[in-house]
Amino acid sequence: MDMQAVPGKSPVVGVVLGSDSDLPVLTPGLEILEKWDVPFEVQILSAHRTPTEAANYAATARERGLKVIIAAAGMAAHLPGVLAAYTTLPVIGVPIASGELRGIDALYAMVQMPPGIPVATVGIGAGKNAALLAVELLGLADPVWYHKLEAYRKEQAKGVLDKNTKLQKLGYHGYLARAKEAGK
């Protein structure tokens, strides 16, 4: 396997890229998985150029210990649907902005799956949300993941409240001036 977040532990999340150019979009999510010690693997497989390998990856995912698959693809974006057709594990699709339609075609391909073969789909380019959704699914069976998500959400809330306190103190003109000074 290409990468594991926790050396020596079997991956529980499989991340499949339709192309190596998709890796930057998934990196924020991979960083969360690494930070939280979620064992994962990353593969580059194509629904069109390596269909046998993609099908085999999905068909053997459960017996290899995976609990959820994240699949990123652009343009026609068949990869998440192909993987979902070969496994009963949850598949999370990440549409990649590419081509003339900038990811709208990929989004539609993922959310418009035929009845019986669902693909959970996050927003275009939302690799971070895909990882968070994968951890939410893992948290259904393992409280370790639930508690990490709970702490993450509290940290997010604190960040928003801290910004609001600053806004209330400075007023919007002062807030904008400070943000501009800070290069934001």
- pLDDT, position 1: 36
- pLDDT, position 66: 98
Q: Mean pLDDT over residues 4-20, rounded?
A: 84
| Burial tier of 170 (Cβ tally within 10 Å: 0-12, 13-18, 19+) | middle
Q: DSSP letter string over 108-164?
A: HHHHTPPTT---EE--TT-HHHHHHHHHHHHHTT-HHHHHHHHHHHHHHHHHHHHHH
* Residue range 48-94, pLDDT digits in tens: 999 999 999 999 999 999 999 999 998 778 999 999 999 999 999 99
* Residue range 118-137, pLDDT digits in tens: 999 999 999 999 999 999 99
Residue 132: left if φ>0, alpha if ψ -120 to 50, beta else—which one?
Answer: alpha
- pLDDT, position 3: 47
Distance CA 143, CA 145 (A): 5
With 50 as the cut, is the pLDDT of residue 140 above it?
A: yes
Q: DSSP letter string over 149-176?
A: HHHHHHHHHHHHHHHHHHHHHHHHHHHH
| Burial tier of 184 (Cβ tally within 10 Å: 0-12, 13-18, 19+) | exposed
Extents of the domains making up the chain: 13-141, 144-184
* Residue range 96-118, pLDDT digits in tens: 998 788 889 889 989 998 899 99
At the second CATH level, the architecture of 13-141 is 3-Layer(aba) Sandwich (3.40)
- Beta-carbon count within 10 A of 79 CB: 32
- pLDDT, position 183: 81
181 three-state secondary structure = helix
- Confidence class of residue 156 from pLDDT cuts 50, 70 and 90? very high
- pLDDT, position 6: 58
- Beta-carbon count within 10 A of 108 CB: 13
Distance CA 172, CA 169 (A): 9
Average pLDDT of every residue of the chain:
92
* Residue range 17-29, pLDDT digits in tens: 999 999 999 999 9
